Amino acid sequence: MDMLQVFHMNKGQGESSYAQNCTVQKKIMLLAKSYLKEAIQGYLKNGYPESMVIADLGCSSGPTALEAVSDIIEAVVATCPKHLSPKFMVFLNDLPKNDFNGVFASFYDFQEKWRKQKGDDFGPCFIAGLPGSFYGRLLPPNGLHFIHSSSSLHWLSQVPQGLNEDDQPRILNKGNVYISRTSTMEVVMAYKQQFRNDFLTFLKCRASEMISSGRMVLTFVGRNSVEPTSLQDSYPWDFISHCLATMVSEGLIEEEKLDSFNVPYYAPCLEEIKELVDEESSFSGHIFEAVEVEWDGGINLNDESSSLMMPTKGERIAKMHRAVAESMLQHYFGADLMDDFFHRYAQVLDDYLIQNPNSKSICLVVSLIKN
């Protein structure tokens, strides 16, 4: 699968859109706010620049795209003396199929919000879209002061080599779409190697683009255990494999189709990240933390008026995952199977959540300083 051609969050504002289903990512942004603030304050200890060039990598198209920018600007404005507030140049990056129009459509409201809050003290904020993969160079050298990337770096540049649909002379990960308990070492190593290549490339590219002592704050899905085949870490992909396998058994999907499908995703542990940051050596590791996040972002629906029409927890989580993964799944299995597939997936999630109501995933927070 060519990520540049296929992958995108669900567009627009509709029921299945990323914009309406990014609760968990919003929660992660909230968790990361204090790290952003700390990094900005740290950077501004070196002096107050006349202008700041900022990039948000993997911005997507929901409310979170400009929220991240807001959080960064808020932290800068709060730290600088009023008359020394910088002008902002913000680059919003994502893959070319991202709904950039959706982001730009909300730019006016964003500007107005800041103008109302800060009046003339708020220097202009220039925004530009930057389509392309963050696993390549995005900007000219030595220009960026601050980089932010939220909930994006667990996506690989491609399905790991050897596990791609086209380059599997023999099936390596039968019945699974990601590393699972039954995956062989060959599969685990293919995933580890792809992540290693991608993350090192990411660091190298950002190091070229950033000024010395610039800051970078990253959050992405990770895992707690050093061992990637642990039970907890293969969720929810195991459920996705299970639902696809059921559809195979009912003749709705060809078996070979499932067997040759693997996701371009990897959830690393902190140790792997620390090692790669050390090895690449352009950044000083500043903060490395693993934070737990509820599968549904921890929103409490009991507070809202209850109704029989209220979606179950499994349905809500399935919608969130649909907004993220549908472009990829429909590319492989066809758009007409998606409603059926996500309906089954919601049920499997509900069954699991009855026994495990407090299931959580791991979000890694990494704050780096460019040497």
Taking the least distance from each CB to ligand SAH, the nearer of 100 and 114 is 100
- Indicate the DSSP class of residue 160: P
Nearest to 102 by CA among 131, 134, 66, 71: 66
Q: Which residue lies nearer to ligand SAH by CB, 94 or 326?
A: 94
Any residues with CB less than 8 A from the CB of 125 and at least 6 apart, and which? 69, 73, 87, 88, 90, 111, 114
Nearer to ligand SAH, 123 or 268 (CB): 268
CA–CA dist 83, 80 (Å, integer): 8
Farthest CA pair distance, the chain: 68
Shortest Å distance, C-beta 315 to ligand SAH? 21
Task: Provide, rounded to whole angstroms, the least separation between the CB of residue 149 and ligand SAH.
Answer: 7
Q: Write the CB contacts of 156 (distance below 8 Å, at least 6 apart in sequence).
A: 3, 194, 195, 198, 264, 265, 266
In the complex with ligand SAH, the residue whose CB is nearer, 157 or 194, is 157
> In terms of CB distance, is 7 or 345 closer to ligand SAH?
7
Least separation in angstroms between residue 46's CB and ligand SAH is: 27
Closest distance to ligand SAH from the beta carbon of 8 (Å):
5
The residue among 285, 279, 288, 292 whose CA lies nearest residue 232 is: 292
Cβ neighbours of residue 70 closer than 8 Å, sequence gap 6 or more: 110, 113, 114
Is the four-CA dihedral 191, 193, 196, 197 of positive or negative sign?
A: negative
Instruction: Specify the residue, 94 or 233, whose C-beta has the smaller distance to ligand SAH.
Output: 94
Minimal distance, residue 321 CB to ligand SAH, in Å: 12
Q: Which residues bind ligand SAH (CB under 6 A)?
A: 7-9, 22, 25, 29, 58-60, 62, 64, 93-95, 98, 133-135, 150-152, 155, 157
In the bound complex, what is the minimum distance in angstroms from residue 369's beta carbon to ligand SAH?
22
Token pair 């060809």: residue:
254
C-beta nearest to ligand SAH: residue:
58
Answer whether 29's CB lies under 8 Å from 64's CB.
Answer: yes
